[in-house]
């Protein structure tokens, strides 16, 4: 197999899609799968230059500055792809980089697959741009037309796209590194680093943005029963456009750490008593699986892909979407019962250990091979 991967988000950008694709590239390197990667350049480049990662000038996407809109050199890409002669193209985003991949695949008769990561219709509603969705869905259907397979991260996403008229849908789930995210990190180091002395730590990790239902989280923080509130330290890990408003609204009552990654992020998960994640727009929710791997029960919305990760009253709680009362009651219920939290945490850890990245990527490569062999078009690149 010779895979050309096109994406508008990639390391060192910090989001679930970028991290997943970086892990995919690492897996292909480890297993000697030939590949070339086409991505936007960023302000902070990788410390180690890799000749098969091709970066192109870009600007931040106005709704999502952590992602970039690239301005690829089509002539350069065409020559590089002619030299590489890919057997399959994978487009991971529908923006400029992904569009380059699709156009090359169609022009030179190379089979391609696509992956769908973001519910744009749900996101745009939060920015009062829902009126553009008919045009976006029309574009999305055109973009994905002819794909041998469209990979989605959850059954919810698969059903959502099927209703929109998409075909050839396959589930590509997400995994978790259970060595990195583990209860063994404990809480002492994280507590000492940030001077946390309260009995409980309630954690949110992710982009701090409207589409993550941060207004619901804010209401839970403010409305939590005083008996529990005085013993609980809220911690928000991440950055985004809603961060200034959150800081102004909550002041010193919430610890805002900014972005954390690697060992620092793992310590935050392991130190938390509960992971509170109200987002109702997730196609999957990597952070929820990371929380479970750390032995921390998760409280999530009954919406999107997260509801397929958490089993209600077994590994956490699944709440009414956008209902601060439902989330608050779940937090209070679990804070009142340490044995229940401990049991849920152990069950969550056990579940996470079944979600191996190696197994997931091995299956994806097998799907690549099936897509290539089932393709009815010859490879003329």
In this predicted model, what pLDDT tens digit does every residue of 75-88 receive, in sequence order?
999 999 999 999 99
pLDDT (0 to 100) of residue 247: 97
Same fold, 2-175+356-374 and 183-352: yes
pLDDT (0 to 100) of residue 47: 46
Whether 48 shows a pLDDT value over 60: the answer reads no
What is the chain's mean pLDDT, rounded?
A: 92
Whether 282 shows a pLDDT value over 80: the answer reads yes
Whether 68 shows a pLDDT value over 80: the answer reads no
Number of separate helices (H) and strands (E) present in the chain: 15, 15
150-174: b (≥16 Cβ within 10 Å) or e: bbbbbebbbebbeeeebeebbebbb
Tell me how far apart the alpha carbons of residues 57 and 273 are, in angstroms, rounded to a whole number: 43
- Secondary structure letter of residue 295 according to DSSP: T
- Give every strand in the sheet of 200-205, ordered side by side: 254-258, 232-237, 200-205, 274-277, 298-301, 316-319
pLDDT (0 to 100) of residue 327: 98
Q: Which of 282, 267, 292, 300 is nearest to 355 (CA)?
A: 292
pLDDT (0 to 100) of residue 376: 63
Topology (CATH level 3) of domain 183-352: Rossmann fold (3.40.50)
- Secondary structure letter of residue 311 according to DSSP: P
For residues 348 and 316, the answer to whether their CB atoms sit within 8 Å is yes
Whether 49 shows a pLDDT value over 60: the answer reads no
Please report, for the chain, the start and end positions of each structural domain, with discontinuous segments joined by +.
Answer: 2-175+356-374, 183-352
For residues 322 and 304, the answer to whether their CB atoms sit within 8 Å is no
Q: What are phi and psi for residue 318, nearest 5 degrees?
A: -115, 120
Tell me how far apart the alpha carbons of residues 348 and 250 are, in angstroms, rounded to a whole number: 30
Share of the chain above pLDDT 90, in %: 80
For residues 146 and 112, the answer to whether their CB atoms sit within 8 Å is yes
Tell me how far apart the alpha carbons of residues 363 and 378 are, in angstroms, rounded to a whole number: 24
Distance of CA 242 to the CA centre of its chain: 18
Asked if omega into 12 is within 30° of 0 (cis), the reply is yes
Tokens of 270: 């392991």
Tokens of 333: 């219920």
pLDDT (0 to 100) of residue 381: 45
For residues 196 and 210, the answer to whether their CB atoms sit within 8 Å is no
Work out the average pLDDT over 7-30: 90
Of 56-65, 191-200, 259-268, 278-287, give the lowest mean pLDDT range.
56-65
pLDDT (0 to 100) of residue 41: 84
Query: pTM for this one?
Result: 0.90
Q: Which CATH number fits domain 2-175+356-374: 3.40.50.2000, 3.40.50.2300, 3.40.50.150, 3.40.1160.10?
A: 3.40.50.2000
pLDDT (0 to 100) of residue 182: 97
Tell me how far apart the alpha carbons of residues 158 and 169 are, in angstroms, rounded to a whole number: 6
Higher pLDDT pick, 230 / 12: 230
Work out the average pLDDT over 161-185: 95
Count of beta carbons in the 10 Å neighbourhood of residue 31: 11
Work out the average pLDDT over 180-206: 96
| Model confidence pLDDT, tens digit, residues 85-111 | 999 999 999 999 999 999 999 999 999
| Model confidence pLDDT, tens digit, residues 314-334 | 999 999 999 999 999 999 999
Dihedral of CA 9/12/18/21: which sign?
A: positive
Please enumerate in sequence order all residues whose Cβ is within 8 A of that of 188, keeping only pairs 6 or more positions apart, or say none.
none
| Model confidence pLDDT, tens digit, residues 334-362 | 999 999 999 999 999 999 999 999 999 99
Tell me how far apart the alpha carbons of residues 78 and 36 are, in angstroms, rounded to a whole number: 12
Give 213's pLDDT tier (boundaries 50, 70, 90).
very high
pLDDT (0 to 100) of residue 64: 64
Q: What are phi and psi for residue 59, nearest 5 degrees?
A: -130, 155
pLDDT (0 to 100) of residue 14: 74
Of 69-73, 330-334, 376-380, give the lowest mean pLDDT range.
376-380
Q: How far is CA 106 from CA 137, 151, 264, 304, 332, in A?
A: 20, 19, 44, 32, 55
| Model confidence pLDDT, tens digit, residues 119-165 | 877 777 777 777 888 898 999 999 999 999 999 999 999 999 999 99
Whether 380 shows a pLDDT value over 60: the answer reads no
């Amino acid at each position: 197999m010779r895979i050309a991967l096109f994406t508008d988000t990639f390391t060192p950008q910090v989001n679930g899609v970028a991290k997943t694709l970086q892990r995919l590239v690492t897996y292909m390197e480890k297993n000697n799968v030939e590949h070339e990667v086409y991505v936007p350049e960023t302000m902070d480049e990788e410390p180690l230059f890799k000749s098969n990662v091709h970066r192109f000038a870009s600007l931040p996407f106005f709704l999502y500055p952590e992602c970039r809109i690239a301005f690829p050199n089509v002539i350069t890409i065409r020559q590089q792809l002619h030299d590489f002669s890919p057997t399959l193209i994978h487009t991971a985003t529908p923006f400029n980089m992904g569009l380059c991949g699709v156009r090359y695949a169609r022009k030179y008769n190379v089979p391609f697959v696509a992956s769908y990561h973001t519910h744009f219709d749900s996101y745009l509603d939060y920015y009062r741009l829902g009126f553009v969705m008919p045009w976006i869905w029309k574009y999305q259907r055109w973009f994905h037309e002819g794909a041998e397979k469209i990979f989605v991260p959850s059954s919810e996403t698969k059903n959502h796209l099927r209703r929109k008229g998409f075909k050839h849908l396959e589930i590509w789930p997400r995994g978790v590194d259970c060595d990195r995210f583990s209860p063994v990190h404990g809480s002492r180091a994280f507590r000492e680093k940030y001077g946390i002395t309260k009995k409980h730590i309630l954690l949110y990790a992710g982009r701090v943005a409207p589409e993550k239902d941060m207004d619901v989280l804010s209401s839970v923080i403010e409305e939590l029963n005083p008996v529990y509130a005085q013993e609980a330290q809220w911690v928000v890990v991440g950055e985004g456009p809603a961060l200034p408003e959150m800081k102004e609204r909550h002041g010193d009552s919430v610890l805002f750490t900014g972005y954390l990654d690697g060992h620092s992020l793992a310590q935050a998960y392991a130190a938390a008593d509960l992971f509170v994640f109200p987002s109702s727009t997730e196609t999957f929710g990597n952070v929820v699986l990371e929380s479970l791997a750390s032995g921390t029960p998760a409280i999530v919305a009954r919406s999107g892909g997260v509801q397929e990760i958490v089993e209600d009253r077994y590994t956490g709680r699944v709440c009414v979407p956008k209902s601060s009362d439902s989330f608050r009651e779940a937090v209070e219920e679990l804070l009142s019962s340490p044995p229940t939290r401990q049991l849920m945490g152990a069950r969550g850890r056990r579940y996470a250990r079944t979600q191996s990245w190696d197994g997931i990527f091995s299956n994806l490569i097998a799907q690549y091979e099936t897509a290539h062999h089932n393709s009815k078009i010859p490879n003329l690149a």
